Amino acid sequence: MSDRIREKLEILADAAKYDVSCASSGSNRKNDNKGLGNTGNGICHAYTEDGRCVSLLKILLTNFCIYDCAYCVSRKSNDIQRAAFTVQEVVDLTINFYRRNYIEGLFLSSGIFKNPDYTMERLVLVAKKLRTEHKFNGYIHLKTIPGASDELMHEAALYADRLSVNVEMPTKESLQLLAPDKNREAMIKPMRFIDKAIIQNREEKKIFKKTPLYAPAGQSTQMVIGATPETDFQVLYLSHFFYKKFHLRRVYYSGYVPISNDNRLPAIGTPVPMIRENRLYQADWLMRFYHFKVDEIVDAANPLLDTEVDPKLSWALRNMHLFPVDINRADYMLIMRVPGIGLRSAQKICEARKFTRLNIEHLKKIGISLNKAKHFIQSENSCKDLQPEKIKQLILQEGRSKYKANFSTQLSVF
């Protein structure tokens, strides 16, 4: 690797670390043409000190940008070292790193060179060359450029496993405040296009066996939280909208890292809202896998997630009339809502109780987190008269969070 390529890699990999949406889950691309790579093995990840997941080849095509988004380190007014890969340089890096077993895939995003189409065309060309010239079957995640043409979006979906369009800010008012050159509709439009195209592709597959893959890992988005004063209520309702309306596979939440002396943003040195970010992911998980409705987690009267306890425990404490649950008779949907009992544990309980009446010892063997669950299930050891606040304090005394308490919960911007 030349010194110049190494320098570009350092600059553009560092610029990409703020993008958290790099998971490779959901793709089933197979290596059936004697090519390179296989998404079945997943891609390699690294984790930064603040918990963010970083791919071993997670880069920007360029950090030049025509926009001046206040929350972005690559904004045009920021005095930083700039660099840009050529299409062939990204292709060569991907192949060479893969052959050395450094990576299993590519996560490629970019600043905007001249205009959205000019930039998107180059992103697509990287994926196309990898797939067609090198028969690369590893995972490819492309960040699409809002404002690019539908034709380029379509072509990107033919070569990438996952496409994503960053919505960036939770509300259009915040977007207007911090990124006045952008508009929300330009971000929604490609999501709508990709969603319709994916549905159409699935229908065609039912008729034509050789229908090409089309973004098999679906689409995702990401929003910055903590830079502006939106509540968790607003953030989660927007996520709910994306899941229902555009069938997104994931919504990622990126706690704002103060990088700018801008009076519209939290000052440099303000803690990154890691606890809040973690709670949002937990709430998101409840919506996607535990069948929680968004208004069960937050509502207008309770717009912020409890940072002391996870959203599932918080919900249970607000609904004590549903507990304690008899695990030998309760419905599966209610058992999996018991704090400390996950989806697989709930399934194990329902299977095991067919053969014997379960007690606390059985639950321990199943792997239940009893420090939480014991307060919400019927057992000889549970205390039925405890109030929610007392239960919360007992659980907090017995548990220990990996997050330090000095992180702010809701940043004050103005």
Q: Give the residue carrying structure tokens 């990088």.
A: 259
Q: Which secondary structure element, helix H or strand E, spans residue 156, and what is its range?
A: helix 150-159
Q: Give the tens place of pLDDT for each residue, 141-191.
A: 999 999 999 999 999 999 999 999 999 999 999 999 999 989 899 999 999
**What does pTM read for this prediction?**
0.84
pLDDT exceeds cutoff 60 at 406:
no
Residue whose C-alpha is closest to residue 305's, from 341, 273, 257, 349: 273
Helix axes 232-246, 184-207, angle to 10 degrees: 30
pLDDT exceeds cutoff 70 at 43:
no
Q: Give the tens place of pLDDT for each residue, 177-215.
A: 999 989 899 999 999 999 999 999 999 999 988 899 999
pLDDT exceeds cutoff 70 at 103:
yes
Q: Are 255 and 281 in contact (CB under 8 A)?
A: no
CA angle in degrees (0–180, nearest 5) for 400-328-368: 20
Torsions phi, psi for 99 (to 5 deg): -60, -30
Q: How confident is the model at residue 325 (pLDDT cuts 50, 70, 90)?
A: very high
| pLDDT, average across residues 270-286 | 94
| pLDDT, average across residues 19-36 | 59
Q: Which secondary structure element, helix H or strand E, spans residue 252, and what is its range?
A: strand 250-255
pLDDT exceeds cutoff 90 at 305:
yes
Position 382 scores a pLDDT of: 58
Q: Which secondary structure element, helix H or strand E, spans residue 58, and what is its range?
A: strand 58-60
Give just the sign of the alpha carbon dihedral 283, 289, 292, 293: positive
Q: How confident is the model at residue 380 (pLDDT cuts 50, 70, 90)?
A: low
Q: Are 251 and 225 in contact (CB under 8 A)?
A: no
How many Cα neighbours within 13 Å face the side chain of 390? 7
pLDDT exceeds cutoff 90 at 410:
no
